[in-house]
Amino acid sequence: MISKLPKWAADLTEKTGSIMSDMKILEAVYISPAIKKIRFQGNITRMNFQIGYANVIRVSDTEFRNYTASYHNVREGILDIIFHIHGNGAGSRYIDKLQPDDELRISIPRGKKMYDETRRQQFIFGDETSLGLACSILPILKKNKHPYQFYFELDDENQGVPELLGLENYTVFPKKNLFRNEQWVSELPVFNTGEWNSANFILTGNVKSVQTFRKKLKDRSSVNISSQGYWLEGKKGL
Ligand SMILES: Cc1cc2nc3c(=O)[nH]c(=O)nc-3n(C[C@H](O)[C@H](O)[C@H](O)COP(=O)(O)OP(=O)(O)OC[C@H]3O[C@@H](n4cnc5c(N)ncnc54)[C@H](O)[C@@H]3O)c2cc1C
C-alpha cells in the first residue's frame, strides 16, 4: 500500500473490509520513553502472519505507515505492535496519542518474507523499528533450534529495551552512525568467525545501516540475505 493518498482515496482504503480490520486497544505501555507497545484486539482470523510482513495503519487524513506484529494470538484476537516514538513524523505522533479503548482499523499483514527455515544459523540486525520482528521470530528460532544472534543499534535511552522485551542472544550497539562505517562493520565478530558463513541474514531498520551491512555481506556468496530498509532520514513513509 502506498504511504500517501488523497483524503478521498485514503477514506475508501480504510473502509475496504477485505484489507482492513476493526481493532480496539486493550493495553498501551511505554517500555522506554520512546518505545510504546500496544495490544490490539479484534477479529484477526483472516490475517496471515509471516516473519517480515507488516500491518498498515492510517496515521493522518492522507498517510499510512507500516508496522510489524510482534505477537499474535488468533484464538484470542490479540495483536501486539512495538512502536518507535521518534517524534519526527505523523505516524509517531499519532501512535504516541493512542490509549486503551481507542478504536482504529489495521490492515492484513503483507510484504516480504524474511525467514529462510532451510538455513541453520540465523542472524538478525536492526534498530528500534526491528524490535517487533525480533520478538516475532524469537519463538520460532527457539522452537526450530536455530543457532541465532541479534545485533541492534539503539539510541541510549532504548539500550535496556531488548532485555525488557525478553529477547536473548543480542548485542546492543549505540546508534552513533557506526553502521555507516564500512571499515568498522567489517571488523565486527560476525564477519570474523566462520560460524555465520552460511547463515540467513535478516537486515532491517535504517536504510543506510542496512545498505552498509549488506555491502559487507555481499563478498560472501554462501550467505543468504533478506533485507529491507524500514526508514530513511528525510524520507516520509517507507
Ligand atoms: C515492513 C516495515 C515494517 C516496519 N515495522 C515497524 C515497527 O514494527 N515499528 C516501528 O516503529 N516502525 C516500523 N517500521 C518503520 C516505520 O514505518 C517508519 O519509521 C515510518 O517512517 C514511521 O512513520 P512516521 O510518520 O513516524 O515518520 P515519517 O513521516 O515516515 O518520516 C518523517 C521523518 O521522520 C524520520 N524517521 C522516520 N522513522 C524514524 C525512526 N524510526 N527513527 C528516527 N527517525 C525516523 C525520518 O527522518 C523521516 O524523514 C516499519 C517499516 C516497514 C517498511
In sequence order, what DSSP letters do the residues of 95-135 get, joined into one string? HHH--TT-EEEEEPPEE-----TT-S-EEEEE-GGGHHHHH
Provide, rounded to the nearest whole percent, the portion of the chain with pLDDT above 90.
88
Between CA 232 and CA 18 the distance in angstroms is 30
Mean pLDDT of the chain: 95
- pLDDT band (50, 70, 90) for residue 17: confident
**Going by DSSP bridges, is the β-strand pair 148-154/224-231 parallel, antiparallel, or unpaired?**
unpaired
Number of other CB atoms surrounding residue 159 within 10 Å: 15
Spell out which residues line ligand 1, taking CB within 6 angstroms: 54, 59, 65-68, 81-84, 86, 88-92, 111, 128-129, 132, 228, 230-231, 233-238
Ligand 1 atom 49 nearest Cα: 234
Per-domain boundaries in the chain? 7-111, 122-231
Q: Which of 35, 30, 162, 14 is nearest to 99 (CA)?
A: 30
Between CA 111 and CA 76 the distance in angstroms is 24
Answer whether residue 1 shows pLDDT above 80.
no
Answer whether residue 219 shows pLDDT above 90.
no
Handedness of CA 222, 211, 4, 23 (dihedral sign): positive
Residue 107's pLDDT is 96
CATH of domain 122-231: 3.40.50
Question: Architecture of domain 7-111 in CATH?
Answer: Beta Barrel (2.40)
133-167 pLDDT per residue, tens = 999 999 999 999 999 999 999 999 999 999 999 99
Of ligand 1's listed atoms, the one at least distance from the Cα of 70 is: 8
The residue type of 26 is: L
Ligand 1 atom 18 nearest Cα: 231
